[in-house]
Amino acid sequence: MENESKIALLLILPSLIGVAIFYYYPVAQTVIFSLFRMKDTQDWLASPFVGLGNYVTVLTDPHFLYAVFFTLYFMGVSIFLEFWIGLGMALAAFWVPSKMRGIVLVFIVLPWAVPPIMEGLIWKLLLNGNVGLISQGLVTLGLFKSPPLFLESPPLAQLTVMAADAWKMSSIMAILLLAGLATIDKEILDAAKVDGARTWYRFWKITLPMISPMIMVALLFRMMDALRLFDLIYAMTGGGPGTVTYTLSLWAYTYYVDYVEYGYGSAYAMVVFLAVLLISFLYVTRLSKHLRFKGEIK
Amino acid sequence: MTSRRVRRLEYLALSIVVTALIGIFTLTPIYWLVVMSLQPFTVSGIIFPFQYYPLHPTLNNYFTIIGGSYAFLIPLRNSIIVSSSVMALALTIAPLSAYAIARLRFKYKVQSLFLLMIGGMVPAIVTIAPTYVLLRAVGLVPSLLAMIIPNVFYSQPLCVFLLTTYFCALPFELEDAAKMDGYTPLQTFWRVILPISTPGLFSAGIFSFLGSYGEFMLASVVTEGYMNVATVPIGVLRFSQSVGLQWTRVSAAIMLSLIPVIVIVLVFQKWVIRGLSAGSVKY
């Protein structure tokens, strides 16, 4: 079997090396960057070493604290919306006649496939005071005298980006939960029906508990995404109005690209990384439980 | 009519209503994009009176952005080159690793998969600065290769994971039979496993294509503002920033850049959904 091990190693090497270069090496380099007072990336060796100085500056920056608050606020509201909308769509896709399921699934998947930069611009268009369908629609319906300032009023802008995120990400939630629903043994539900359990009771006491492992995976997955949120905000509000929709990733990007302060940018990026790392460990261990391997040598 | 038939009709009607509601929720933004892109261009950007569907539809916005100084076909071409190359290269490398992890005997196979997957969870914001420095040092900035090479490996964790789950599900008797015929592991992979794995390869290919098609953060850095190497997300964003209120043209640009994505989803929906439900998808 010695030979098989060698072949296996050879086969797996291209992916591993590439991932090492484009994922792991940058992490190490970012850690190093974050310890220097860097104006440009060209010569970090020549930059003054500041130890954890950048982290101290970043962690005590009110912008940082507000970005943490906003990221958590975003995570809470958008994942709440996505979970219930996604669950609704998954149950609907599960419930309709199988001939219609294909159409429902196409409807569900389309928003997921829209790249986030385009999504941000599309929502900007929908909410535009002059030509936006939603803005003008609300006025036509008589709910508002003039179009609401969706992206100009700070509290409203925060909620607006969460709703926009929910439009796209409810899709993935629905698909994941649908995969969970498909694993439920129909006989259990039928038995409960025979026993006289009402629809609502069956949903809360049987369906939801049975798909709870999938719910956990879906929620962890969405939390990771929300933590590194960038594209949607960048295209939709650019962090504004003021800085109320700035996320941690957007601050890091601003420091990299606009101020060319790689040290601060890296410190911001590392905070995002550590938060995501924590959740991804939970996530990967959960996922790997579902895999069976052949010839595993422990 | 029997009550059973009434109930069947009720079920059918309700199903149609539910399907329509989901359709309205997910398609309205795209409907509005199409409507705006078909509206005649106005300098002020305002369409008066407000119309819920185009009264005088025209394709002029599309012609304007394709031709003349906008040359929007360039980012579209670049994106298609980048994403197709990424897909081709990712599909060359990923099945090898997935096969080794799923079907061969060796130490540390779980650890290898872990290493790949944890890597895939590194947020883009952590990778862009060092990657830019690295690519600049080897003289690849700005170029399409500076997006192709990193994206091939950005897609590896997901592709390897999808293919590993796929290969794991194949019956193990396949190898036993191949071994009887005297096949080496590589021959088994090439002649036995790959030919029956097209669904898995499809999913992995689609995700690597879509992932690199929408990638913005790295692309925005390595293109350094040169529009001749810009991909679609950059092209659309810069275009919308430079023309401001010209929403009819911006809508046409967004719509053009969404066409490849929509075609892929419609044509390959089965594989997209299968891949998505295999879990762990980032985009």
pLDDT (mean) for A92-99:
90
A30/chain B closest Cα distance in angstroms: 7
Q: Select from A21, A117, A273 the residue whose CB has the most chain B CBs within 10 Å, as the one to mutate to test that interface.
A: A117
Number of domains in chain B: 1
Q: What is the pLDDT of residue A296?
A: 47
Domain A77-246 belongs in CATH node 1.10.3720.10: yes
Say if residue A295's pLDDT is above 50.
no
Q: The tokens 């484009």 sit on which residue? A: A22
Q: What is the pLDDT of residue B283?
A: 38
Candidate from A11, A26, A104 with C-beta closest to B127? A26
Which residues of B fall within a CB distance of 8 Å from A95?
Answer: 15, 18
The DSSP H or E segment spanning A31 is helix A25-33
In a domain, B61, yes or no: no
Q: B9-21 burial by CB neighbour count: b if 16+ within 10 A, else e? A: eeeeeebeebbee
In a domain, B178, yes or no: yes
DSSP for B223-268?
TTT-GGG--HHHHHHHHHHHHTT-HHHHHHHHHHHHHHHHHHHHHS
Number of Cβ pairs closer than 8 Å across A and B?
326
Is A269 within 8 Å of B123 when comparing Cβ atoms? yes
AA identity, residue A185 = D
Which residues of A fall within a CB distance of 8 Å from B97?
Answer: 11-12, 14-16
pLDDT (mean) for B112-136:
90
Q: What is the pLDDT of residue B27?
A: 95
Considering chain A, what percentage of its residues have pLDDT values greater than 70? 94
Choose the weakest-confidence range: A6-15, A82-91, A283-292: A283-292
B99, B162 Cβ separation under 8 angstroms: no
In a domain, B24, yes or no: no
Q: What is the pLDDT of residue B186?
A: 85
A92/chain B closest Cα distance in angstroms: 7
AA identity, residue B224 = E
Nearest CA in chain A to B250: A121
> Under 8 Å CB-to-CB from B9, ≥6 apart: which residues?
none
Q: What is the pLDDT of residue B279?
A: 54
Q: How confident is the model at residue A297 (pLDDT cuts 50, 70, 90)?
A: very low
Closest CA to A11 of B171, B186, B190: B186
pLDDT (mean) for A177-191:
84
DSSP for B153-210?
HHTHHHHHHHHHHHHHTS-THHHHHHHHTT--HHHHIIIIIGGG-HHHHHHHHHHHHH
Candidate from B12, B22, B117 with C-beta closest to A107? B22
Residue B269 lies in domain: 70-276
Q: Select from A2, A114, A181, A268 the residue whose CB has the most chain B CBs within 10 Å, as the one to mutate to test that interface.
A: A114
Say if residue A140's pLDDT is above 50.
yes
In a domain, B176, yes or no: yes
**Reported pTM:** 0.91
In a domain, B60, yes or no: no
Choose the weakest-confidence range: A205-214, A244-253, B10-19, B228-237: A205-214
Choose the weakest-confidence range: A180-184, A272-276, B28-32: A180-184
Torsion on CA atoms B24, B30, B35, B41, rounded to nearest 10? 150
Is B27 within 8 Å of A41 when comparing Cβ atoms? no
Averaged pLDDT of chain B = 89
The structural domains of chain A, with segments of one domain joined by +, span: 26-60+250-290, 77-246
Closest CA to B146 of B155, B154, B156, B136: B136
pLDDT, tens only, B231-257: 999 999 999 988 877 899 999 999 999
AA identity, residue B142 = P
Q: What is the ipTM of this complex?
A: 0.91
Residue A244 φ then ψ, to 5°: -70, -20
Nearest CA in chain B to A174: B277
Which residues of A fall within a CB distance of 8 Å from B130?
Answer: 25-26, 29-30, 33, 41
Tokens representing B76 are 């579209």
Q: How confident is the model at residue A41 (pLDDT cuts 50, 70, 90)?
A: low
Q: A288-297 burial by CB neighbour count: b if 16+ within 10 A, else e? A: eeeeebeeee
Number of neighbours of residue B206 by Cβ within 10 angstroms? 23
Which residues of B fall within a CB distance of 8 Å from A269?
Answer: 123, 125-126, 129
Choose the weakest-confidence range: A164-178, A277-291, B16-30, B202-216: A277-291
pLDDT, tens only, B84-101: 999 999 999 999 999 999
In a domain, B228, yes or no: yes
Averaged pLDDT of chain A = 88
Q: How confident is the model at residue B280 (pLDDT cuts 50, 70, 90)?
A: very low
Is A176 within 8 Å of B12 when comparing Cβ atoms? no
In a domain, B113, yes or no: yes
In a domain, B43, yes or no: no
How far is Cα A216 from Cα A279, in angstroms, rounded to an integer?
Answer: 11
Q: Look up the CATH number of the domain holding residue B272.
A: 1.10.3720.10
pLDDT (mean) for A6-26:
93
Considering chain A, what percentage of its residues have pLDDT values greater than 90? 47
Number of neighbours of residue B267 by Cβ within 10 angstroms? 11
